C-alpha cells in the first residue's frame, strides 16, 4: 500500500510541474530573463507579451537560443508547437549541452519534419564525453503542430528520462557498467534551434526541404528549469557542485526509477511507436554498446 502511495505521489509531482507550466504566465517566463539569441536575431520573434517565442527558418537562415545559466541535474521542460504542413527536411530542437566542444555532454530532443499528412518523428540522442550516435526515433502519437505539448528531461545521478507530456519515451541509467557513458560531471545549458537538415532528416535525406512552403516557424513557451545552477566560481573549489540534491523532488528516491505506471507507458511507446533504436542496429555496431545491455529499470 505504501509503495503504491509513493508511486502516485511521484506521478503527482510531475503532473504538478506540468500543470504549473500550463497556467504560469509569471514574469520569469519572459525570454530575456532566462535566454539569449545564439544567431540570426532577425529570425527570432516573440508574442506581444513575450510569453511565446518563435524561431524562423527560411533559405537564408535558421535561428536558435540558449539559456543564460548552466545546470547540473534537475527537471527541465518546455512547451513546443512544431512546424505545420510540409515540413520535410526541417529540424527543430530542444536540448541540453555542455560547452566542452569535442568532449561535450548532450541530451537531445530533435523533431524531424515530414511531408504533409505523415506523422512527426522525434529523435533523442545522448552524448557523453563527446561521443553520441545513440539515436532512438519514435513516431509521435498526436499532431504536434496544432497545439503546444510539453517535452521534458529528468536528469539526476541515477537516470536520465525523456518525457513527451507525461509519457517517458527513453531511459538512460547510471550503473556500474554505464558510468563512463552517463553524463554527470559537466553542467549543461538549455538550447533550442531550427535549421535545414534535408541531407538526412526526412527518410534519410530522400525528402528535401520545400522552400516554397517557407518560412517555417516553431513556437516555444513556458520553460521550467528546476535544477541546480552551476556558478562559475564552483570551478575553483575542490568539492563537486550540485552533488547533493536530496532535498529536491527530482533527486529523491522516487525519481531514481520509473513508477509502475510510467513503466507501462514506456513499454507502450516502445512497442507501438519506436521506429529506430541504435541498440538494434547491428550494421553500425559490431559490438553492442554497453548501455544497451542495461534494462530501463530493475526488474
pLDDT in tens, 144-158: 999 999 999 999 999
26-293 architecture in CATH?
Answer: Sandwich (2.60)
Whether residue 7 is predicted with pLDDT greater than 70 in this model: the reply is no
Catalytic residue numbers read 106, 110
Report the b/e string of 155-188 with b at 16+ CB within 10 A.
Answer: bbbbbbbbbbeebbbbbbbbeeebeebbbbebbb
| DSSP letters spanning 55-115 | EEE-SS--EEEEESSEEEEEEEEEEEEPPPSS-TTEEEEEEEE-S-GGG--EEEEEEE--S
pLDDT at position 64 over 80:
yes
Where do the DSSP E strands lie in 148-212? 149-155, 159-164, 167-173, 189-196
> What value does the mean pLDDT take over residues 159-187?
97
Residue 27 has pLDDT above 90, yes or no: no
Alpha helices in 218-273 (DSSP H): 260-272
What pLDDT is attached to residue 83?
97
- Predicted local distance difference test score (pLDDT) of residue 210: 97
Q: What is the pLDDT of residue 244?
A: 80
- What pLDDT is attached to residue 23? 40
Average pLDDT of span 14-33: 52
The lowest-confidence range among 9-18, 39-48, 139-148, 257-266 is: 9-18
pLDDT at 24: 44
- pLDDT tens for each residue of 67-99: 999 999 999 999 999 999 999 999 999 999 998
Amino acid at each position: 500500500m505504501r509503495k503504491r502511495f509513493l508511486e502516485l505521489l511521484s506521478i503527482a509531482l510531475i503532473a504538478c510541474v506540468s500543470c504549473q507550466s500550463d497556467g504560469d504566465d509569471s514574469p520569469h517566463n519572459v525570454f530575456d530573463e532566462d535566454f539569449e539569441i545564439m544567431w540570426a536575431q532577425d529570425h527570432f520573434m516573440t508574442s506581444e507579451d513575450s510569453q511565446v517565442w518563435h524561431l524562423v527558418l527560411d533559405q537564408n537562415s535558421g535561428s536558435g537560443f540558449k539559456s543564460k545559466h548552466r545546470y547540473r541535474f534537475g527537471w527541465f521542460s518546455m512547451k513546443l508547437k512544431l512546424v505545420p504542413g510540409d515540413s520535410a527536411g526541417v529540424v527543430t530542437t530542444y536540448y541540453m549541452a555542455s560547452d566542452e566542444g569535442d568532449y561535450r555532454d548532450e541530451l537531445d530532443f530533435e523533431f524531424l519534419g515530414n511531408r504533409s499528412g505523415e506523422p512527426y518523428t522525434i529523435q533523442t540522442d545522448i552524448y557523453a564525453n563527446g561521443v553520441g550516435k545513440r539515436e532512438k526515433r519514435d513516431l509521435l502519437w498526436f499532431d504536434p503542430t496544432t497545439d503546444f505539448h510539453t517535452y521534458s528531461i529528468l536528469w539526476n545521478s541515477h537516470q536520465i528520462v525523456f518525457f513527451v507530456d507525461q509519457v517517458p519515451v527513453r531511459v538512460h541509467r547510471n550503473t556500474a557498467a554505464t558510468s563512463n557513458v552517463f553524463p554527470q560531471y559537466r553542467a549543461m545549458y538549455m538550447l533550442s534551434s531550427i535549421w535545414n537538415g534535408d541531407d538526412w532528416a526526412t527518410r534519410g535525406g530522400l525528402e528535401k526541404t520545400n522552400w516554397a512552403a517557407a518560412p517555417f516557424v516553431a513556437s516555444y513557451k513556458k520553460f521550467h528549469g528546476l535544477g541546480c545552477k552551476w556558478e562559475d566560481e564552483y570551478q575553483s573549489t575542490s568539492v563537486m557542485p550540485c552533488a547533493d540534491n536530496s532535498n529536491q523532488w527530482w533527486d529523491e528516491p522516487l525519481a531514481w526509477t520509473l513508477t509502475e505506471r510510467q513503466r507501462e507507458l514506456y513499454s507502450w511507446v516502445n512497442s507501438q511507436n519506436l521506429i529506430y533504436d541504435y541498440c538494434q542496429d547491428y550494421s553500425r555496431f559490431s559490438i553492442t554498446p554497453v548501455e544497451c545491455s542495461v534494462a530501463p529499470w530493475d526488474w
